[in-house]
């Protein structure tokens, strides 16, 4: 089991300037997996993905092969594959780079996955704010179509597929899979009542698989190189590799592809450590929706199971690190302002709760509020978590209790001293060194 070192696979050829073209991708072995896959029985592909233990890279970590297996076969209905490329999680920046640098890995994965679940129509729903990524993927799809990888009777088989690249319109909630389906159908994006689950009645009330970009980009490599190769990376419960996007107060923020099970400390080393030789104050392993950790957790392996044990989640696997210059009050307030802005409004706890919590946090940030409210907020978060319609509410209820666990004193002080008085905001800027020098 390889759980350390960098293992560039999806990112292996990112230094080649023409990787985004079909010629560049094929030069490094692209679309070999597709040719092999189309010779396989679709069920065998599903079996291979099940055996690989690949878990969804969108945040929840649900086993991909099992998800595919839920799609009823021979039901006479059209099946759909929908790629969730609505990467909007604060701190997450891994799907968009994949789409920019290696879009054909995604497209090849889409074709293979569609073949496996017997879908003849696939949709790639890309966040609307990244037109450059939309253009890259649309270009890749057109090139694949021109090469006969998309269209009627691919490689002379019975398999036909159309792929639609769809642009979102700027709502975080559309990353929630059922809201994404509503948005794709032309409705206002709000999560749907489950059951029925998308695997049974998803897009246009037909069986639908929704997978993350990185998940789908894994598929060609698993088909091409096999289950045993894939499972040599990571752990038993979290096999494979992960495109980690490391951001924050590190010397070299960026994309680091490494096996699951690597520690934050090792990733931090690759990123050059905290700027100016400083220390981590707190960090989040996978976007703002997962509970924060501190320097004492730097040696916890980055796996789904170990992160859960540590009281957090791997999430999107996109660590954000903050050094000692940062006011946790301010950080949490910014996140809650985000959730308030992005709450879709459907359910009461999330719609009203984010409004309330944000109001109180903004008071804290400015040195107002009462000590009693420090605990009221915990109660409010508990009124949202587990009671909202979808996971957005749960996510909104996450940052504050997690922060309070480690930094209670800072919140209590905030009732009298503003965040800017506690922490010089200039010191936390990326360009702080220039300023202080």
Partner 1 sequence: MTITSNAGSDLTPQVELVTVVVDGVAIEIPKGTLVIRAAELLGIEIPRFCDHPLLEPVAACRMCLVDIEGVPKPQPACAQVVSDGMQVRTQLTSPIARDAQEGVMEFLLLNHPLDCPVCDKGGECPLQNQAMSAGRPESRFEEVKRTFPKPINVSAQILLDRERCVSCARCTRFADQIAGDPMLELLERGSNQQVGTAADQPFDSYFSGNTVQICPVGALTSAAYRFRSRPFDLVSVPTTCEHCASGCSLRTDHRRGTVTRRLAWDEPAVNEEWNCDKGRFAFTYQEQGRVATPLIREDGNLRPASWPEALDVAARGLAAATSHGVLVGGRSTVEDAYAYARFARAVLQSDNIDFRVRDSSDEEAQFLRSSVAGTAVRTTYESLEKAPAVVLIAFEPEDESPIVFLRLRKAARGGGTRVYSVGAAVTRGLSKLAGTLIPAKPGAEASVLTDLPAKVRAELSTPGAVIMVGERIAGIEGGATAVLELARSTGASIAWVPRRAGERGALDAGALAGLLPGGRPLSDDLARGAVAACWGVESLPATTGLAGESLLRAVTGGGIGALITGGIELADLPDQALGRAAIEAAAFVVALENHHSAITELADVVFPVAVVTEKSGTFMNWEGRPRPFAQTFKDALVMSDAIVLGMLARAMNAPIGASDVAGIRQELGSLGAWAGARAEEPNTPAGQVVDAAYLVSTWRALIDNGVMQEGEPYLAATAHAVAATCSAVTVADLGAPENVTVTGPLGSLTLPLLIGDVLDGVVCLPLNSPGCALYRDLGVRSGQAVTIGGAV
Count Cβ atoms below 10 Å from residue 218 Cβ, excluding itself.
27
Shortest Å distance, C-beta 362 to partner 1: 9
User: Does 77 engage in binding with partner 1 (CB under 8 A)?
Assistant: no
Shortest Å distance, C-beta 197 to partner 1: 14
Beta strand 208-212 with 80-85 is parallel
Distance (Å, whole) CA 436 – CA 258:
35
- Residue 34 backbone dihedrals phi, psi, to 5 degrees: -60, -45
User: Does 352 engage in binding with partner 1 (CB under 8 A)?
Assistant: yes
Shortest Å distance, C-beta 125 to partner 1: 18
| Residue whose C-alpha is closest to residue 267's, from 286, 244, 237, 284 | 244
User: Does 193 engage in binding with partner 1 (CB under 8 A)?
Assistant: yes
Cis-peptide into 152, omega within 30 deg: no
Q: How far is CA 172 from the centre of its chain?
A: 12
User: Does 399 engage in binding with partner 1 (CB under 8 A)?
Assistant: no
Shortest Å distance, C-beta 397 to partner 1: 11
Which x/- pattern over 360-379 shows residues binding partner 1 (rule: CB under 8 A)?
A: x--x------------x---
Stretch that binds partner 1, among 51-59, 153-161, 207-215, 339-347 (CB under 8 A): 339-347
Angle ∠(146,33,151) on CA atoms, nearest 5 = 30
- Cβ(91)–Cβ(133) under 8 Å? no
Instruction: Return the residue of 21, 232, 294, 348 that touches partner 1, per CB under 8 A.
Output: 348
User: Does 415 engage in binding with partner 1 (CB under 8 A)?
Assistant: no
- Cβ(260)–Cβ(303) under 8 Å? yes
User: Does 91 engage in binding with partner 1 (CB under 8 A)?
Assistant: no
Stretch that binds partner 1, among 25-33, 40-48, 87-95, 357-365 (CB under 8 A): 357-365
Shortest Å distance, C-beta 173 to partner 1: 8
Q: How far is CA 29 from the centre of its chain?
A: 26
- Cβ(125)–Cβ(80) under 8 Å? no
User: Does 98 engage in binding with partner 1 (CB under 8 A)?
Assistant: no
For residue 105, give the 3-state DSSP assignment: helix
User: Does 388 engage in binding with partner 1 (CB under 8 A)?
Assistant: yes
Distance (Å, whole) CA 376 – CA 163:
49
Cα dihedral sign for 66, 49, 318, 265? positive
User: Does 409 engage in binding with partner 1 (CB under 8 A)?
Assistant: no
Instruction: Return the residue of 95, 349, 374, 404 that touches partner 1, per CB under 8 A.
Output: 349
Site for partner 1 in 171-190 (CB under 8 A): 171, 173, 188
Instruction: Return the residue of 257, 346, 414, 428 that touches partner 1, per CB under 8 A.
Output: 346
229: which 2 tokens? 């190769």
Q: Give me the residues that bind partner 1 (CB under 8 A), please.
A: 171, 173, 188, 193, 340-349, 351-356, 359-360, 363, 376, 383, 386-389
């Amino acid at each position: 089991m390889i759980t350390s070192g960098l293992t560039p696979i999806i990112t292996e050829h990112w230094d080649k300037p023409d990787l985004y073209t079909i010629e560049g991708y094929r030069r490094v072995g692209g679309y070999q997996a597709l040719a092999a896959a189309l010779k396989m029985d679709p069920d065998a592909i599903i079996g291979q993905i099940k055996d690989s233990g690949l878990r969804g890279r969108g945040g929840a970590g649900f086993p991909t092969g099992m998800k595919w297996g839920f799609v009823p076969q021979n039901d006479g209905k059209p099946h759909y594959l929908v790629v969730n490329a609505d990467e909007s999680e604060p701190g997450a920046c891994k799907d968009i780079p994949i789409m920019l640098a290696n879009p054909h890995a995604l497209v090849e994965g889409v074709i293979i996955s569609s073949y496996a679940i017997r879908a003849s129509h696939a949709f790639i729903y890309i966040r609307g704010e990244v037109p450059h990524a939309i253009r890259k993927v649309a270009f890749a799809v057109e090139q694949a179509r021109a090469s006969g990888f998309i269209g009627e009777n691919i490689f002379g088989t019975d398999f036909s597929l159309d792929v639609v690249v769809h642009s979102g319109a700027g709502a975080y909630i559309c990353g929630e899979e059922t809201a994404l389906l509503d948005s794709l159908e032309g409705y206002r994006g709000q999560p749907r009542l489950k059951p029925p689950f998308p695997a049974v009645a998803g897009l246009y009330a037909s069986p639908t698989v929704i997978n993350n970009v990185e998940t789908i980009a894994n598929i060609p490599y698993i088909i091409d190189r096999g289950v045993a190769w894939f499972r040599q990376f990571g752990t038993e419960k979290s096999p494979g590799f992960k495109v980690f996007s490391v951001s924050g107060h590190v010397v070299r923020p960026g994309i680091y592809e490494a096996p699951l099970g690597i520690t934050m400390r090792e990733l931090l080393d690759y990123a050059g450590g905290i700027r100016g030789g400083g220390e981590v104050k707190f960090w989040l392993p996978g976007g703002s929706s997962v509970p924060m950790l501190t320097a004492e957790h730097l040696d916890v392996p980055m796996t789904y199971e170990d992160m859960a044990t540590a009281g957090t989640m791997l999430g999107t696997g996109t660590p954000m690190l903050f050094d000692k210059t940062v006011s946790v009050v301010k950080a949490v307030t910014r996140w809650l302002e985000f959730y308030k802005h992005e709450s879709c409004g459907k359910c009461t706890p999330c719609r009203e709760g984010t409004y309330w919590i944000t109001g109180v946090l903004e008071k804290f940030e400015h040195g107002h509020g009462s000590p009693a409210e420090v605990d009221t907020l915990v109660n409010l978060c508990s009124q949202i978590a587990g009671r909202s319609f979808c996971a957005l509410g749960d996510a909104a209820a996450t940052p504050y209790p997690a922060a309070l666990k480690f930094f209670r004193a800072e919140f209590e002080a905030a009732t009298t001293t503003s965040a800017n008085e506690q922490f010089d905001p200039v010191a936390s800027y990326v360009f702080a060194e220039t300023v202080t020098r």
